[in-house]
Amino acid sequence: MVLTTCQKPALRGGGSSAADTTAPAKKINPDYADFCLVAQELDQASNSTHGNDPMAMSDPVKMEAAWKTIMESSQKLFDEAPLVVKSDVKLMLDGMKAMDKIYATYKYNLSEMKAVPQVAKDLNTIAADQSIAAASQRFKTFMASNCGL
């Protein structure tokens, strides 16, 4: 579960080179530009740490560091969230905090966690929470409409 679904957009406008064949960047709602940047930071943090580092899965120290970065970025996203999505971001953040509590209990050692069937059940319960899923969908819609994602 990651709080944002950002895809590393170019949030600051600008021209493209003649060799650039990508689609033009979608418009960012100026009222939410700062928030969109925070969301991009979270996406980059989650993709550059736990998500893209295979060692994070087997090294508890790296897993803890990666998860700490993701949690700090997620908290910043909540702190900066506009009122229109703040409650949705809070629901998603609360789910992540619940997951982090489980990870911390096992000192971020995923091998140990895999040996305890209840851990998978607890994590799946969090991931399957329909209120979080609904909040996530509303958040994705907001991001698509206002951050060009």
pLDDT over 60 (residue 111)? yes
Which pair of structure tokens corresponds to residue 124? 């799946």
The DSSP-derived string for the chain is --S--------S-----TT--SPPPPPPPGGGHHHHHHHHHHHHHHHHTTTT-HHHHH-HHHHHHHHHHHHHHHHHHHHH--HHHHHHHHHHHHHHHHHHHHHHHTTT-HHHHHT-HHHHHHHHHHHT-HHHHHHHHHHHHHHHHHS--
Ranking 33-37, 42-46, 77-81, 132-136 by mean pLDDT, the lowest is 42-46
* pLDDT for position 2: 53
* pLDDT for position 62: 85
**CA atoms in the 13 A half-sphere facing the CB of 23:** 6
Give the model's confidence band at 56: pLDDT under 50 very low, under 70 low, under 90 confident, else very high.
low
* pLDDT for position 44: 77
Q: pTM for the whole thing? A: 0.76
Sign of the alpha-carbon dihedral angle for 148, 31, 49, 74:
negative
- Find the mean pLDDT for residues 100-112: 94
Give the model's confidence band at 86: pLDDT under 50 very low, under 70 low, under 90 confident, else very high.
very high
- Find the mean pLDDT for residues 9-21: 36
Instruction: Round to whole Å and give the CA distance between 96 and 119.
Output: 14
| Mean pLDDT, the chain, integer | 81
